[in-house]
Amino acid sequence: MKMFDLNNKVAIVTGGNRGLGKTIALSLAEAGADIVLIGRSEKLNQEAAREIEALGKKAIYFSVDLLNISSINEMVEKVLDTFGKIDILVNNAGTSLTKLAFDITEEEWDQVIDLNLKSLFFCCQAVGRKMAQQNYGKIINVSSVVGAVGDVGITPYTASKAAVINLTRSLALEWARYGIHVNAIGPAYIKTDMNAEQLENPKVLDKIVGKTPMRRLGQPSELCGALILLASEASSFITGETIYVDGGWLAQ
């Protein structure tokens, strides 16, 4: 359908060279968008770019320190130098920490909050300024089902993802006047590079699957429907929302 078509759109995907981010980048390319990959590994950036180019779309990549605001701003200017515009931003980069709350250090807390929340905001800010000048833009923040409900052993992560949900609402309210849509996706547990080791523990896996009404983990590709909806004109009257892709987790 034409309303889901992303041809002639330019999309930035942070953490887009592997795992869930790579699936997101490829999905956007399949829908027609040219892609800007943000990732630290040159090798993984090149591999992901080749897969996007094999789909007939343009792909460029940058190794950006997302904890450095100047680096984010420089990246945005380079994207504009190449494409002249930015239509879509997907804030996917993030990290987690499995540790009980009594044992978390200040450094560990800051590591998770700074990448999952602070860098996400400043990516929104840098790209949002350009989108406001265009009077158009789609920003999609990757939150989590545990941003809506708590969980044990990942306190900084749950806190950061809850903040992303409300940050999404606030930016949507501020930037609607500029034609910028700001939404989020909240997946339940999906096996990725970040949580693969945790999910190899049978007790952990059984607990998660047991709490999921569909009795399985999600697949990265299962986020793509919500992603393309929020990135395309099909969501022209949707902003400030979080779409949960959670196998029924929050219906309980």
The predicted-structure confidence for 192-226, as pLDDT tens digits, reads as follows 776 777 778 888 888 899 999 999 999 999 999 99
Q: Which residue has the tokens 């930037």?
A: 175
DSSP string, 18-75: SHHHHHHHHHHHHTT-EEEEE-S-HHHHHHHHHHHHTTT--EEEE---TT-HHHHHHH
**pLDDT of the residue at 204:** 84
Q: Are strands 137-142 and 34-38 parallel, antiparallel or unpaired?
A: unpaired
Q: H helices within the chain, ranges in order?
A: 19-30, 42-53, 69-83, 106-113, 119-134, 155-175, 196-199, 202-211, 224-231
The pLDDT of residue 15 is above 90: yes
Of the pLDDT bands very low, low, confident and very high (cuts 50, 70, 90), residue 23 is very high
Please tell me the class of the 2-247 domain. Answer: alpha beta
**pLDDT of the residue at 191:** 80
**pLDDT of the residue at 119:** 98
- pLDDT tens for each residue of 170-201: 999 999 999 999 999 999 988 877 677 777 88
Within 13 Å, how many C-alpha atoms sit on residue 184's CB side?
A: 28
Does residue 90 contact residue 227 with C-beta atoms inside 8 Å?
yes
- pLDDT tens for each residue of 140-180: 999 999 999 999 999 999 999 999 999 999 999 999 999 99
The pLDDT of residue 67 is above 80: yes
The pLDDT of residue 17 is above 90: yes
Query: What's the rounded mean pLDDT across residues 95-110?
Result: 96
Does residue 33 contact residue 57 with C-beta atoms inside 8 Å?
yes
pTM above 0.85, yes or no: yes
Torsion of CA 152, 153, 156, 159, to 10 degrees: -10
Please confirm, yes or no, whether 136 is among the known catalytic residues.
Answer: no
Which one from 61, 136, 157, 244 is the annotated catalytic residue?
157
Q: Which burial class, exposed, middle or buried, applies to 47 when counting CB atoms under 10 A from its CB (0-12, 13-18, 19+)?
A: middle
**pLDDT of the residue at 93:** 96
Query: What's the rounded mean pLDDT across residues 62-74?
Result: 97
Residue boundaries of the structural domains of the chain: 2-247
